């Protein structure tokens, strides 16, 4: 098979290079592999812009969840034709690596290689957010503020710790602005919206029973986000793995949701900064991407 392997050096400060090279060497034993290391968005964009010219069988992304989301969005923007037997593989080399859990992958080199060279793949659903797509989740409001506030250089050094530090900071300094949410002909005001195509959140913590291979979008609408209410939600996630048990949170399975802010609202998708938006539209799309699984 013909592989394109892209390693996002920014996802782990290059600390996983030895690990990636072991996988690369094994892949090359019986396959043709084009290997790229990227440090900038422009470098990655150029590779993905030229991607369709090479007739690759597999795209392998080594990085974090956001690296995979970015690659998929670039392929879609470049009108890449996803063939039935084309698949995306993942090498966990990021901070949270929720996708690693969704694909039931471990971090052993031989096991990862066996997944990447297999034909064992499943189609994953994608959720459209404005003109982009996400694979795992989108946060509008509170958690997006945390993501927006994190310096990428510090993130490389501290990893998950920086999320805890910033999360505590925004917990203490909680200052929410109301969002107008519309779905299924209903209208609500909320402080925070978390829309999930995965059952994992904030590390490998389970919040629902869905997964990226289900054609289902679960959205949680926090009407009045208080410090006590947030602590209760964390308690439910840790103890029950079910955020919907919080009666102060509206849980909807609607496939079309519109959110409007009175001001620009911070948004994160798949753990990465998605900018500030005054209007956000979520739609469970009909686009599918094959992912190699354990």
Token pair recorded at residue 261: 């802010």
Token pair recorded at residue 12: 């782990």
3 state SS for the chain: CEEEEEEEHHHCCCCCHHHHHHHHHHHCCCCEEEEEEECCHHHHHHHHHCHHHCCCCEEEEEECHHHHHHHHHHHHHCCCCCCCCCEEEEEECCCCCHHHHHCCCCCCHHHHHHHHCCCCEEEEEEEEECCEEECCEEEECHHHHHHHHCCHHHHHHHCHHHHHHHHHHHHHCCCCCCEEEEECCEEEEECEEEEECCCEECCCEECCCCCCCCCCCEEEEECCCCHHHHHHHHHHHHHHCCHHHCCCEEEECCCEEEEEEEEEEEEEECCEEEEEEEEEEEEEEEEEEEEECC
Does residue 13 carry a pLDDT above 80? Answer: no
Does residue 5 carry a pLDDT above 70? Answer: yes
Q: So what's the pLDDT on residue 12?
A: 66
Distance CA 48, CA 58 (A): 13
- Span 2-119: which CATH code? 3.40.50.10330
Q: Is 122 exposed, middle or buried (0-12, 13-18, 19+ CB in 10 A)?
A: middle
Q: So what's the pLDDT on residue 157?
A: 63
Does residue 14 carry a pLDDT above 80? Answer: no
Q: What is the CA radius of gyration of the chain?
A: 19
Query: Do the beta carbons of residue 198 and residue 98 sit within 8 Å?
Result: yes
Mode of pairing for the β-strands spanning 58-63 and 87-92: parallel
pLDDT band at 156 (very low <50, low <70, confident <90, very high): low
- HSE value, Cβ hemisphere, 13 Å, CA-based, for 128: 14
Give the model confidence (pLDDT) of 86-119 as tens digits. 999 999 988 778 999 999 888 899 999 999 999 9
CATH 2.60.200.40 domain residues, the chain: 132-285
Distances, alpha carbon 115 to alpha carbons 75, 118, 120, 122, in Å? 22, 5, 7, 12
pLDDT band at 151 (very low <50, low <70, confident <90, very high): confident
Distance of CA 170 to the CA centre of its chain: 21
CB neighbours of 150 closer than 8 A, spacing ≥ 6? Answer: 162, 163, 166
pTM, whole model, 2 decimals? 0.91
- Span 132-285: which CATH code? 2.60.200.40
Give the model confidence (pLDDT) of 45-100 as tens digits. 999 999 999 999 999 999 999 999 999 999 999 999 999 999 999 999 887 789 99
CATH 3.40.50.10330 domain residues, the chain: 2-119
Identify the residue with better confidence: 168 or 12.
Answer: 168
């Amino acid at each position: 098979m013909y592989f394109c392997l892209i390693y996002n050096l920014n996802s782990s400060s290059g600390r996983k290079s030895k690990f990636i090279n072991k996988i690369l060497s094994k892949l090359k034993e019986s396959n043709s592999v084009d290997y790229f290391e990227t440090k900038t968005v422009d470098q990655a964009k150029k590779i993905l812009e030229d991607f369709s010219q090479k007739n690759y069988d597999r795209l392998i992304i080594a990085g974090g969840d956001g690296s995979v989301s970015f690659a998929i969005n670039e392929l879609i923007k470049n009108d890449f034709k996803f063939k039935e037997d084309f698949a995306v593989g993942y090498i966990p080399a990021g901070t949270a690596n929720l996708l690693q859990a969704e694909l039931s992958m471990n971090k052993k080199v031989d096991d990862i290689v066996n997944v990447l060279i297999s034909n064992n793949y499943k189609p994953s659903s994608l959720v459209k957010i404005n003109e982009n797509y996400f694979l795992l989740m989108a946060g509008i409001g509170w958690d997006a503020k945390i993501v927006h506030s994190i310096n990428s250089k510090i993130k490389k050094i501290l990893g998950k710790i920086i999320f805890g530090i910033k999360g505590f900071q925004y917990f203490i300094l909680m200052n929410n602005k109301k969002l107008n949410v519309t779905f299924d002909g209903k209208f609500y005001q909320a402080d925070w919206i978390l829309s999930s195509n995965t059952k994992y959140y904030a590390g490998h913590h389970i919040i629902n029973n869905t997964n990226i291979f289900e054609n289902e979008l679960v959205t949680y609408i926090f009407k009045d986000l208080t410090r006590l209410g947030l602590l209760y939600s964390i308690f439910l996630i840790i103890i029950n793995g079910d955020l919907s048990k919080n009666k102060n949170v509206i849980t909807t399975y609607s496939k079309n949701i519109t959110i409007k802010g009175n001001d620009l609202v911070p948004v994160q998708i798949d753990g990465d900064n998605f900018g500030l938006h005054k209007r956000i539209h979520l739609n469970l799309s009909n686009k599918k991407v094959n992912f190699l699984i354990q």
